[in-house]
Structure 1
Amino acid sequence: MQRATCGHDRAGRHDNAASARRRQAGFTLVELMVVITVIGLASAAAVLAMPGPRGRLVDEGARFATRVRAARDAAIVGGRPVSVWVTPGGYGFDERRGGQWVALPDKPFRVAQWGEGTQALLPERVRITFDTTGMADRPIVVPLRRDRTRVAVTIAADGDARVDG
């Protein structure tokens, strides 16, 4: 009986041992290139989806300005003064009840901390009060900083709030 050589039997078919060795040899170059391409595309999408520090700070300022406008509207609708207080670390909203400032319980008016790395450049706590007509007791500029990026939220005497910078 003649033995098969080079992984083939007498009929020229591959024997199982040679096929198994070839399957265990690893990935082909094409398979590796496909995986590298997929990883590269996923990484590019992740980097493009990440906002820059300026965008995050502007978004945070816009969120604050929107909540300030909502507080002004709450003063008008509720028929009682509403205030916004701002500290270097965050802000909150109060309404006047029984001669005292009481925190507004509604979700959009809960106390909020500035996002990580964001700080209001104020020496101390500042309070702005909206009367029942929506007018602020005084205009104020709240400068915000994150790293080297700065924006300012301006609250005008008419109660409007906007992001500048």
Structure 2
Amino acid sequence: MSLRSRGFTLLELLVVVSIIALATAGVGIAMRDSGQTLVEREAARLAALLESARAQSRGGGIPVVWRANPRGFQFEGLPPSAQATLPSQWLDSGTAVRGNGVLVLGPEPLIGRQQVLITHQAFPERTLSVATDGVRPFTVETVQ
């Protein structure tokens, strides 16, 4: 009868350490800062909406203005059917615009450099810019 040593093999220990490392990484990703995520989501959505309205303005040859208001925002100049397809409220009621809340979207292909600053009332230190140089599409940029 031989004495067999008790314990774990190196392979078993490596598997357990790998599982712990993957679980820790998953938890770290899941616990991402909700304030930053909220503002990023609103800014990305606004950039897409602005590009949609800009395309409709160019296609129809009509001037379109985006204007922030206390309850959300509105697109002025679009026909009623087009306005019905575009939302007029933020995803979260705490989202706000800092500074200038008016953007001219067309109908000219070159609209000039414009930006709007998006923030959240609960996270005022987190501000993102939705901006264009007048030629390229609106993009989300971090405010320094």
Aligned mate of 2:85, from 84, 98, 107: 107
State the Cα distance separating 1:87 from its structure 2 match: 3.7
**Matched residues in 1 for 2:81 and 2:98: separation?**
23
Distance change in 2, residues 1:151/1:127 (3 Å): closer
Query: Alpha carbons of 1:87 and 1:155: their partners in 2 closer, same or farther (altered >3 Å)?
Result: farther
In 2, the alpha carbon distance for the partners of 1:103 and 1:113 equals 20
Find the aligned partners of 1:159 and 1:83 in 2 and give their Cα distance.
18
Q: 1:134 aligns with which of 109, 112, 125?
A: 109
The structure 2 residue matched to 1:59, chosen from 38, 41, 46, is: 41
Corresponding residue for residue 117 of structure 1: 94
Greater relative contact order: 1 or 2 (C-alpha under 8 angstroms, separation 6 or more)?
2
Which has more radius of gyration? 1
C-alpha deviation, 1:88, in angstroms: 5.6
Percent identity (aligned): 16
TM-score by length of 2: 0.62
Q: TM-score, normalised by structure 1?
A: 0.55
| Matched letter for residue 121 of structure 1 | R
Q: Does 1:91 align with 2:73?
A: yes
* SS of corresponding position for 1:112: coil
Aligned pairs for 1:146-157 (under 5 A) are 146=120, 147=123, 148-157=125-134
Deviation at 1:104, TM superposition (A): 4.6
Q: Say whether the 8 Å CA contact 1:69–1:161 is kept in structure 2.
A: yes
Could you say which residue in structure 2 is the equivalent of 1:163? 140
Unaligned runs of 5+ in 2: 1-25
| Cα drift, residue 53 of structure 1 | 1.4
CA RMSD in angstroms, aligned pairs only: 3.0
